[in-house]
Amino acid sequence: MPSQKKIIFSILSLALGFVLLWLTLRFTEVEFTEIIASFYNLNPWYTALAIASLILHFWFTAYKWNLVTHKLTPERQQSQGFYFFYTTLGALSMQFMPQYIGMVAVQNLALRLHKISSFSRGFLSVIYDQFFNFLIPVLLFPASVLFVLGYIPLSIAVFATTTVVIGTHFIIKKWYKSLIQLLIKGYFLIKKNKSQEQSESEAITTEYSLFGKKFTIYLFWVSVTRYLFWLIRGVVIAVAGGFKIKLWAIVFITPIVQLAMLLSFTPANLGLMELSWLGLLRLFQVPTADAIEFAFLQRFLYIISAAIALLGFFLIWLCERFFKLKPVKNK
C-alpha cells in the first residue's frame, strides 16, 4: 500500500495539475464550456474508434507485462484477462497520482497480492515492462524534435524514424544481454537504500538469462505495436473533433509529450501535457482553441476508455457471480 508520504505527495501533485490546467485556460482565454461543447460535438464513429484504439493499447500493454511475468514465473501463469484488468486499473489510477506511484504500485500490488512471483522476479518484471513502455518514444525523440523545430523535412524525419526502429531490432539481436544488465545497474544508481543494493542486484541480474534473444526482440515489436495504437488514438481524436491538426504533427509531437512524463511530478503529466501540446502545436500554426480542446479531449477519452474497460470486467464478474449455470444432477 502507498505510504502516507506518497499519498500526501499524490494529493499535492494532483492539486498542482489542476492549477496548471486553470492557468492554461486563464491565459489562453479558452472557456471550459467550449471544451465540453467540443466533447459533445465529437463524431461518434471516430470517437468509438479512438476508444477502441485505447483499449487495444491497454491490451497490448497487459500482454507485454504478461509475457515478461510468465517468462520469469511459468509455474504461476495467470490469464491475459488478469493482466488486462490490473493494467487498466493502473492506467486509471495514474490519472490521479504520479505514474510511478499509480501504475507501478498497482503492478507490484497485483503480483504480491496473488503471490505470482518473488520480490526479485516481480521487481524485474515491473522495471523491464516499464523500460519497454518508454523505449519507443526515446528512440523517436531525436527525429521528432528536429522535425518539430523545422531542422529536417518530413521525408528525412520519416526515414530516420523508420531506420532507428529497424536498427534497434538488430542492436537488440546482438547486444540484448548487455542492454538488460545496463538497465538493471542503472536502477541501482538512483536507489537510496544502498545496504540492500548488492544482494538485490545480484539476485536480479541472475534472472536476465531467462530473456532470450528471440523473446526480447518479440517484446520489442509488441511494444512497437502498442505504440502504434497510441498514435492511432491521437490521429482519430483529431479527426473526430474536426481539429485543424495535421497527421504528422501528432505523430512527431507524441513522443516528445510522452517523454515529458519521465520528468513529470503531476498525475499523467496533468497540466504539463496540455501546455506541451499547446506550445508544440503552435509551431504548426494550429489555432489555440483547437490545440487546447485536442489536449483535453485526449485526457477525457483516456479516462473514459479505462472506465469502460473496467466496467466490462465488472459486468463479466456479475454474470459469472449471479448467472452462472448450475450443473445438472444425473438422476
Describe the crossing of helices 4-28 and 99-113 by its angle, rounded to 10 degrees.
Answer: 140
Q: According to the model, what pLDDT value does residue 196 have?
A: 46
Range 269-281 average pLDDT: 88
Q: Looking at residue 193, what is its pLDDT?
A: 46
pLDDT above 80: residue 328: no
pLDDT of residue 326: 52
Residue of higher predicted confidence among 8 and 47: 47
**Taking the model in full, what pTM does it have?**
0.85
Nearest to 76 by CA among 62, 63, 66, 85: 66
Question: Where do runs of H (alpha helix) occur along 73-196?
Answer: 80-93, 99-113, 119-148, 154-189
Domain boundaries, the chain: 36-318
CA distance 11 to 43: 35
Helix-, strand-, coil-residue percentages of the chain, each rounded to 5 = 80, 0, 20
Q: Enumerate helices (H) and strands (E) in the chain, giving the number of each.
A: 12, 0
Please name which of 176, 177, 199, 175 lies closest in space to residue 188, comparing C-alpha atoms. Answer: 199
Distance CA 250, CA 253 (A): 5
Contact 50, 236 (CB under 8 A): yes
Residue 302 burial (CB < 10 Å; 0-12/13-18/19+)?
buried
Average pLDDT value over all residues in the chain: 81
State yes or no: pLDDT of 67 exceeds 60.
yes
Q: How much is the pLDDT for 192?
A: 46
Of the candidates 238, 230, 231, 232, the one whose C-alpha atom is nearest the C-alpha of residue 38 is 238
